[in-house]
């Protein structure tokens, strides 16, 4: 069974270059990841005015990864190894949750099995979507031996 790697982002993204780029990276990850037992790579949105729906999405066989500036930072290689570990132990789905303009509800942060940061800065949520999509693609290329990651 493949590990589904999905993104659930707060707020509504208007048609923007960041959104197009995030979807392009996720499509590339989907195309390459299939042979590695990695699947899905879907970006969906949650309405930050209804946090209970987000909390409901975070139960039942979902490995929850919250994005927060107080989280752990990984190198590209370490992030790829973490994804491979989840796949190898049979996790069915890892859900990366990005807050909207006001961040994530405390309940989601408490339920998260991992908290991930892209440094200590605060990033616009549209950029975080794109950065995470790129890092997922980078992890897939590292695991596949593709030359995209040239560390």
In a domain, 151, yes or no: no
Q: What is the pLDDT of residue 125?
A: 85
Non-local (6+) Cβ contacts of 108 within 8 A are 51, 54, 55, 58, 64, 66, 97
Could you list the residue range(s) of the whole structural domain that residue 77 is in? 3-144
pLDDT digits (tens, 9 = 90+) for 8-63: 998 887 788 999 999 999 999 999 999 999 999 999 988 777 777 777 766 778 99
Average pLDDT of the chain to the nearest whole number: 91
Confidence at residue 151, expressed as pLDDT on a 0 to 100 scale: 63
120 part of a folded domain? yes
Number of domains in the chain: 1
Higher pLDDT, 13 or 79: 79
Residue 11 neighbours by CB under 8 Å, 6+ apart: 45, 48, 100, 101, 125
Order across the sheet with 114-116: list the strands.
38-46, 3-10, 93-98, 63-72, 114-116
> Quick check: is 150 in a domain?
no
Residue 72 has a CB neighbour count (10 Å cut-off) of: 13
Task: Evaluate whether residue 122 is within a structural domain.
Answer: yes
Distance CA 2, CA 90 (A): 8
More confident of the two residues 101 and 34: 34
Q: How would DSSP label each residue in 91-132?
A: --EEEEEE-BTTB--HHHHHH-SEEE-SSSS---HHHHHHHH
- Collapsed DSSP state (helix, strand, coil) of residue 87: helix
Residue 149 lies in a domain: no
- Domain CATH code at residue 71: 3.40.1280.10
State the number of CA atoms in the 13 A half-sphere of 48 facing the CB.
16
- When pLDDT is averaged across residues 68-93 and rounded to a whole number, the result is 96
């Amino acid at each position: 069974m493949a590990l589904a790697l999905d993104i659930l982002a707060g707020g509504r993204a208007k048609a923007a270059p960041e959104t197009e780029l995030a979807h392009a990276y996720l499509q590339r990850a989907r195309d390459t990841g299939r042979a590695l037992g990695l699947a899905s790579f879907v970006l969906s949105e949650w309405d930050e005015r209804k946090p209970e729906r987000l909390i409901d999405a975070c139960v039942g066989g979902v490995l929850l990864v919250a994005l927060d500036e107080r989280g752990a930072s990984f190198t590209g290689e370490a992030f790829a190894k973490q994804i491979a570990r989840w796949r190898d132990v049979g996790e069915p789905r890892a859900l990366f949750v990005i807050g909207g303009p006001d961040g994530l509800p405390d309940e989601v942060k408490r339920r998260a099995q991992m908290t991930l940061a892209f440094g200590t800065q605060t990033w616009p949520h549209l950029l975080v979507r794109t950065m995470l999509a790129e890092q997922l693609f980078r992890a897939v290329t590292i695991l596949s031996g593709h030359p995209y990651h040239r560390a």
